[in-house]
Amino acid sequence: MNRRYIAIGSGPAAISAAEAIRSQDPSGEIVMIGAEPYGYYSRPGLAYYLAGEVPEKRLFPFSPEDFARLDVQLVPKRATSIDAAGHRVTLEDGRMLSYDRLLLATGARAIPVQVPGAELEGVVKLDDLEDARGLIQRSHRAKAAVVVGGGITALEIAEGLCARGVHVHYFMRQDRYWSNVLSEEESRLVERGLQSRGVQIHHFTALAKVIGRQGHVVAVETEKGEEIPADVVAVAIGVLPQKELAEAAGLRCRRGVVVDEYLRSTNEDIFAAGDVAEVCETLTDQYTVEVLWSSAAAKGRVAGLNMSGGLTHMYEKGVPLNVTRLAGFKITIMGMVGSGRDADLEGIARGDSETWRRLGEAVSVESQDGDSHIRLAVGENSISGAVVIGNQTPSFTLQRLIAVRADISGFRAKLLQAGDSLGDVIQDVWTRWSSSHV
Ligand SMILES: Cc1cc2nc3c(=O)[nH]c(=O)nc-3n(C[C@H](O)[C@H](O)[C@H](O)COP(=O)(O)OP(=O)(O)OC[C@H]3O[C@@H](n4cnc5c(N)ncnc54)[C@H](O)[C@@H]3O)c2cc1C
């Protein structure tokens, strides 16, 4: 008898799992339940779509032929419950589907803001394609928008609306942008980039209430009592893994669905991957949530292999990495680079990793050359993290040095004293290290 695999979710975690399952089980039945009508598309691409840089059709990495090749049955419905003992999933239309192995790949959802007026028409978020379409529609009529929150998504919304001719007020609770991941110099670089695009930054400013007329946003009031007219209030204060189905099914959950090294939940036939999974990180031995496309795909792959081939593949969390664009600057963030809490974020943001908030015993060194910037977290024997802004030449080299935990103890003093020639010193370290590790 053929096995039946069900994935709840149709993002990169579910797709990678389906590919892995198909590679080991050519005749098994794969069913993908997805609440969104659009199926599989690039969420990171939504920022570029909002800014008018890519057309909607470029957001879809899979063609109907790709789905046919995978032989996946797509069910465009919301799953409403899981009967773990009976191996069944119930859909919103009351249908029940039975499974042999189930994957939870339900992703994460924006945390709503808790202020009076938050329910008004015009208070928006950016989770999915529907939200991006809605923002574009609003931008045709809107004169001014207020953006609250932190991390990548807040900036993507601010930049996107700005590019569409809306005047954007960006509120920050404290003195600088993304303070638990970026250094002060990096925050300032990004802020200058935002201002040069026309975004009006309000430091030490928090949203107190959204003011409406006939159900629509017309202004906001800050905690200092200032009133600012706005047609749109965009909120990006972090996301929460969508773990409700798992909790109701009795699976162990904390911030996300807790999984073991095989990405198996506390039920042996139910796995979890992607933003919803909380995994133990080998590097630090701490449970971590990540909202990164590449991590979601990597987890999906391992879960799929284990669902179809027995518990043969352990998930080893790699160095979390994101290459993105903030305020016009290309920026790569990798490994452990920051610490503390950012008052603009309640938890994790999109395109973000909890690992980035750790620094360990490392010492930070930075160098600036015009609009290009490098920062390293240098430990006793290895580089544990890096941020590269602008010129990305050192990026690949650093990724390798960090990923293999290259022993840099012989170069440590040179790195710490490199000053503005940090880029050259990194290249030198790489040349010497790689020539002795062929
Ligand atoms: C605006 C934006 C910018 C981003 N930028 C970056 C970036 O720069 N770099 C980066 O690495 N990552 C970025 N991300 C994050 C990245 O897209 C996610 O980490 C990734 O999509 C997670 O994949 P996933 O498969 O876990 O879940 P998702 O892609 O979120 O897919 C989950 C799917 O499950 C569905 N679902 C949920 N519950 C149910 C249910 N009960 N029944 C049926 N279906 C259900 C949802 O509707 C959704 O379609 C960004 C995301 C957004 C929204």
Tens digits of pLDDT across the chain (438 residues): 899 999 999 999 999 999 999 999 999 999 999 999 998 999 999 999 999 999 999 999 998 889 899 999 999 999 999 999 999 999 999 999 999 999 999 999 999 999 999 999 999 999 999 999 999 999 999 999 999 999 999 999 999 999 999 999 999 999 999 999 999 999 999 999 999 999 999 999 999 999 999 999 999 999 999 999 999 999 999 999 999 999 999 999 999 999 999 999 999 999 999 999 999 876 667 888 999 999 999 999 999 999 999 999 999 888 889 999 999 999 999 999 998 889 999 989 999 888 888 877 788 999 988 889 999 999 999 999 999 999 999 999 999 999 988 999 989 999 999 888 899 999 999 998 888 876
Q: Which atom of ligand 1 is nearest to the CA of 39?
A: 49
* Contacting residues for 423 by C-beta, under 8 A, at least 6 apart: 367, 369, 374, 391, 393, 394
Q: Which atom of ligand 1 is nearest to the CA of 10?
A: 33
CA of 186 to the centre of ligand 1 (A): 27
Per-residue model confidence (pLDDT) at position 360? 74
CA of 345 to the centre of ligand 1 (A): 18
Q: Which atom of ligand 1 is nearest to the CA of 299?
A: 26
Per-residue model confidence (pLDDT) at position 339? 86
Strand 96-98 with 88-91, pairing? antiparallel
Could you tell me if 391 and 372 are in contact, meaning their C-beta atoms sit under 8 angstroms apart? yes
CA of 108 to the centre of ligand 1 (A): 6
CA of 32 to the centre of ligand 1 (A): 15
Find the residues whose C-beta lies inside 6 A of ligand 1: 8-14, 33-36, 43-44, 46-47, 78-79, 105-107, 126-127, 152-153, 156, 242, 245, 274-275, 291-294, 296, 322, 324, 350-351
Residue nearest to atom 18 of ligand 1 (CA): 293
Pocket test for ligand 1, best of 59, 103, 106 (most atoms within 8 A of CB): 106
CA of 212 to the centre of ligand 1 (A): 31
Q: Which atom of ligand 1 is nearest to the CA of 46?
A: 1
Residue nearest to atom 35 of ligand 1 (CA): 9
Residue nearest to atom 8 of ligand 1 (CA): 351
CA separation, residue 427 to residues 215, 322, 372, 393 (Å): 58, 21, 16, 9
CA of 11 to the centre of ligand 1 (A): 6
Q: Which amino acid is present at 148?
A: V
CA of 65 to the centre of ligand 1 (A): 23
As given in the structure block, the two tokens for residue 218 are: 């017309």
Residue nearest to atom 34 of ligand 1 (CA): 9
* Contacting residues for 431 by C-beta, under 8 A, at least 6 apart: none
* pTM for the structure as a whole: 0.94
Candidates 32, 85, 105; CA nearest to 295 is 105
Residue nearest to atom 50 of ligand 1 (CA): 44
Query: Residue 71: left if φ>0, alpha if ψ -120 to 50, beta else—which one?
Result: left
| CA distance linking residue 347 with residue 278, whole number of Å | 14
| CA distance linking residue 365 with residue 147, whole number of Å | 32
As given in the structure block, the two tokens for residue 209 are: 């209430």
CA of 107 to the centre of ligand 1 (A): 5
Per-residue model confidence (pLDDT) at position 358? 83
- Residue given tokens 């290249």 in the structure block: 427
CA of 277 to the centre of ligand 1 (A): 12
Per-residue model confidence (pLDDT) at position 283? 62
Could you tell me if 39 and 320 are in contact, meaning their C-beta atoms sit under 8 angstroms apart? no
How would you label 121-148 residue by residue, b for 16+ Cβ within 10 Å and e otherwise?
ebbbbbbbbebbebbbebbeebebbbbb
Residue nearest to atom 13 of ligand 1 (CA): 351
CA of 43 to the centre of ligand 1 (A): 6
Q: Which atom of ligand 1 is nearest to the CA of 80?
A: 41
Residue nearest to atom 11 of ligand 1 (CA): 292
CA of 60 to the centre of ligand 1 (A): 14
Q: Which atom of ligand 1 is nearest to the CA of 9?
A: 34
How would you label 42-71 residue by residue, b for 16+ Cβ within 10 Å and e otherwise?
bbbbbbbbbbeeeeeeebeeeeeeebeeee
Q: Which atom of ligand 1 is nearest to the CA of 79?
A: 42
3-state secondary structure of 107: coil
3-state secondary structure of 93: coil
CA of 8 to the centre of ligand 1 (A): 12
CA of 132 to the centre of ligand 1 (A): 14
Pocket test for ligand 1, best of 275, 302, 354 (most atoms within 8 A of CB): 275
